[in-house]
Structure formats: C-alpha cells, structure tokens
Amino acid sequence: MEKEIRKLLKKLNKLRKHTLMNTLKIKYVYAEKNFLVAKMPVNKKVFQPVGFLHGGATIALAESVGSSLSTLNINKDFFNIFNIEISANHIRSMKKGIIFAFAKIIHKGKTLHLIQVKILNENKDIISLCKMTNIIIPKKNTSC
C-alpha cells in the first residue's frame, strides 16, 4: 500500500511541470482514493500588496488539490474534470511558513463531485475553508 501511495504521489507531482502548481511550488504529500494532501510555501511570491498570503493563491492551492482528487476517482481515458464552483472563507492570515491543503470528497456522483478543502498552517490552525464542485465531462471521441 505504501509503495502504491509513493508511486501515485510521484505521478501527481510529475504532472505539475509547466503549470500554475509548479509556479506556486505546490507539492502533493499524501494520497488516498477519497483524500489528498498537498503543501505550498508562503513567501513574497504569493503575497497580496500589503504583505500577507493572497486569497487567490490559497484558492489556487485548494482548486489544484480538489481537482486532482476528483481525477483520482474517474477513468481519465474517458472523462475530464473541470471545477465549476469554488468558495472560500479565509479565517487567518499568514506571512511565512507552509500551508497544507487537506481535500476530501464529500459527495461522489456520476457527474458531480463535491470537495471540501481545509487549508491549515504548520501548527494545524485553520487558514481557510474551501468548498468546490467539480463536473465530470465525457471526452469526445477523437477517432472520427
């Protein structure tokens, strides 16, 4: 089981290349079928103008992890995942350190996934609480 998790994390982290996830230094650190954890450093690159963690960077982390979690639960040969709604309550600010995104599937339907993402700091204090809805879209037949 541990070997499968390491292999999955390696695969997920390899997909970051040339993406916003790579720019933000988001790294996946733990995975299960219905649960995914990633981390992101908090530094000047993800600040708002007044010097605190930008809410948009936090949402980018949440959406990255939540979308990847949905992707783990579909057949990628036949379906794509797209986020269609995300909301966040930013509870605490940060200036430095690491934040962790804990994504969990709340509802796993055939066409919609509801994902909850808790963003915590290194002390396990809540930074943001996010909710997102992903839609599962069949891929078009490209053989025609």
Catalytic positions: 63
- State whether the Cα torsion 116-117-123-125 is positive or negative: negative
With beta carbons less than 8 A apart as the criterion, state whether 68 and 19 touch. Answer: no
